[in-house]
């Protein structure tokens, strides 16, 4: 079987693995109800914002809301005049003007009540909540109509009779009754406005549920999302904090958010891992070949010590001393966004800023991770150093450098290269806790923000991209295995 055929088969197998990972992620999120829970929470936030927007207006933008607002507005002059007359014992009382004011307001209230009833009749309930909303509108409109009719047919004739008789006590009593009726009408108008707010909010909720297909089976929601993801149509960011980490306001696509966060993770974590790998590959063979020496014992002790120190803890210590106490490095690392974004405008100046932001995180990672790298490379090479063919080479009197290069390093190359490439690939995903400590706006922070804000498109997009990076790394390894170790056979 030719090399090209072998690599093509491997590429197909790895691609299938990528598809399986994406679909498995969607199955887990959908079948467990996680996605529905996320969308429900997001809808609650959207509905809350929508309700606040409606309540900030005097009335909702609907025929019933506008009629209710007009009705309340028409009551304002007569209610103000009525309150003044009662407080000032009919001072400056103009009987005819007051009667006309009451009659006009009552007639307007009746007209608005009729408009609201007509609008209520246009509502065709499809669910219990719609029927309840319709009933609330009709009930309050009927109350307004009844009370306004009472004012026109009872209160005004009584008031005119009292005015004719010049009976101030009777006039006051009738005005008190009118005031009570006006308050009842105003309360009913306010109840209509609140009913319309509730109806529109619930209508908006149902629209959002339909948009997210929450009443459909989970696979109706999730499978199209998985297919779009495989086509690199990752959708849009839904979380505000996700957009904040990306450093760009919404609307923002998931692909753009990942494109912005990825270089920052490479600058901080991937470079640190690459430095550790380079140092380990240079010193590892020497340490393994000198097994039992002082250098070997120091390496083992250093690895044991740093393996017990969390990166994020050392990061906090370094930020405190080198940031707050000495002021050498920054304490807020979000500024790297601007330096990377405007890099082409002033390459040298922005490179200096990037180094200023990245040096402390990189040094922190190198200090804590280098020990594990040295120990791992040492362990892989140590197994080869103890092989019989190395012992034979030494017995033949071959130079140590030749033994290291042609016997030790070549044999240990596949597992060492595997560790290096997979470590670099995994570093693309970022370190959630470490990036949070440094407030570093990379892939780890992006993932964390997406999880906190239940940003499904971003979660799925990040999973897809990170899996794809791993798949590509695996394919590179397949190629390197053939080049580095001719003994490898593929069936």
How is the chain split into domains, by residue range? 44-220, 243-484
15's tokens: 């691609």
Residue 263 to residues 140, 260, 302, Cα–Cα distance (Å): 61, 7, 31
Q: What is the pTM of this model?
A: 0.61
CB 267 within 8 A of CB 358: yes
CATH architecture type of domain 243-484: Orthogonal Bundle (1.10)
Residue 367 pLDDT class (50, 70, 90 cuts): very high
DSSP string, 296-345: HHHHHHHHHHHHTS-HHHHHHHHIIIIIIIS-SS-S--TTHHHHHHTGGG
Give phi and psi for 253, each to the nearest 5: -75, 155
Q: Is 439 helix (H, G, I), strand (E, B) or coil?
A: coil
Q: How far apart are CA 193 and CA 199, in angstroms?
A: 10
The reported pLDDT for the residue numbered 187 is 92
Q: Is 253 helix (H, G, I), strand (E, B) or coil?
A: strand
Q: Is the confidence at residue 407, as pLDDT, over 70?
A: no
Q: How far apart are CA 385 and CA 322, in angstroms?
A: 42
Packing angle between helix 456-484 and helix 443-452, nearest 10 degrees? 140
Among 207, 196, 204, residue whose Cα is nearest residue 57: 196
24's tokens: 């498995």
Question: What percent of the chain is modeled with pLDDT above 90?
Answer: 10
Which segment of 77-81, 131-135, 265-269, 332-336 scores lowest on mean pLDDT?
A: 332-336
Tallying the residues shown for the chain, one arrives at 491
CB 276 within 8 A of CB 373: yes
Q: Is the confidence at residue 470, as pLDDT, over 60?
A: yes
Q: How many CB atoms lie within 10 A of CB 311?
A: 21
Q: Is the confidence at residue 392, as pLDDT, over 80?
A: no
The reported pLDDT for the residue numbered 2 is 59
Q: How far apart are CA 347 and CA 339, in angstroms?
A: 9
Name the average pLDDT for the chain.
83
Q: Is the confidence at residue 490, as pLDDT, over 50?
A: no
Q: Is the confidence at residue 3, as pLDDT, over 60?
A: no
CA 229 to chain centroid = 17
Q: Is the confidence at residue 353, as pLDDT, over 70?
A: yes
The reported pLDDT for the residue numbered 53 is 84
Angle, CA of 337, 339 and 343, to the nearest 5°: 120
394: number of CA atoms within 13 Å, CB side?
A: 11
The reported pLDDT for the residue numbered 487 is 57
Q: How far apart are CA 399 and CA 196, in angstroms?
A: 91
**What pLDDT, in 10s, does the model give residues 193-249?**
888 888 888 888 888 888 878 888 877 777 777 777 777 777 788 788 888 888 888
């Amino acid at each position: 079987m030719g090399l090209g055929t072998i690599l093509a088969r491997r590429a197909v197998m790895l691609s299938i693995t990528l598809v399986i990972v994406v679909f498995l992620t969607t199955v887990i999120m959908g079948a467990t109800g996680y996605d529905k829970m996320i969308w429900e929470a997001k809808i609650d936030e959207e509905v809350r914002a929508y309700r606040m927007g409606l309540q900030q207006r005097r009335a909702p933008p609907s025929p019933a809301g506008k009629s209710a607002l007009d009705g309340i507005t028409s009551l304002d002059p007569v209610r103000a005049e009525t309150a003044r007359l009662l407080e000032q014992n009919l001072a400056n009382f103009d009987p005819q003007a007051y009667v006309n004011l009451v009659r006009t307001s009552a007639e307007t209230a009746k007209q608005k009540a009729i408009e609201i009833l007509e609008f209520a009749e246009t509502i065709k309930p499809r669910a219990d909540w719609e029927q309840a909303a319709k009933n609330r509108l009709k009930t309050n409109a009927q109350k307004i109509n009844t009370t306004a009719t009472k004012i026109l047919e009872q209160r005004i004739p009584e008031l005119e009779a009292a005015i004719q008789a010049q009976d101030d006590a009777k006039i006051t009593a009738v005005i008190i009754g009118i005031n009570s009726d006006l308050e009842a009408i105003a309360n009913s108008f306010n109840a209509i406005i609140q009913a319309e707010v509730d109806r529109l909010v619930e209508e908006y909720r149902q629209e959002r549920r339909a948009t997210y297909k929450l009443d459909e089976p989970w696979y109706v929601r999730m499978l199209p999302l998985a297919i779009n993801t495989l086509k690199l149509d990752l959708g849009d960011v839904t979380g505000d904090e996700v957009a904040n980490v990306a450093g760009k306001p919404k609307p923002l696509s998931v692909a753009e958010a990942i494109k912005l966060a990825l270089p920052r993770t490479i600058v901080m974590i991937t470079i640190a891992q690459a430095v550790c790998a380079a140092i380990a590959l240079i010193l590892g063979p020497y340490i393994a070949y000198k097994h039992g020496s002082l250098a070997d014992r120091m390496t083992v002790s250093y690895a044991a010590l740093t393996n017990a120190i969390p990166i994020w803890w050392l990061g906090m210590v370094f930020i405190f001393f080198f940031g707050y106490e000495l002021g050498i490095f920054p304490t807020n690392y979000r500024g790297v966004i601007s330096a990377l974004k405007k890099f082409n405008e002033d390459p040298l100046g922005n490179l200096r800023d990037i180094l200023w932001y990245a040096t402390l995180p990189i040094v922190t990672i190198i200090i804590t991770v280098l020990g594990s790298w040295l120990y791992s490379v040492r362990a892989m090479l140590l197994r080869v150093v103890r092989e019989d063919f190395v012992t034979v080479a030494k017995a033949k009197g071959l130079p140590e450098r030749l033994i290291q290069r042609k016997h030790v390093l070549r044999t240990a190359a596949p597992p060492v290269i595997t560790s290096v490439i997979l470590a670099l690939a995994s570093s693309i995903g970022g370190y959630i806790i470490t990036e949070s400590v440094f407030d570093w706006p990379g892939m780890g922070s992006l993932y964390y923000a997406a999880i906190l804000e239940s940003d499904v498109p971003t979660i799925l997009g990040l999973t897809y991209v990170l899996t794809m990076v791993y798949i590509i790394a695996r394919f590179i390894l397949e190629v390197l295995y053939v080049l580095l170790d001719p003994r490898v056979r593929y069936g």
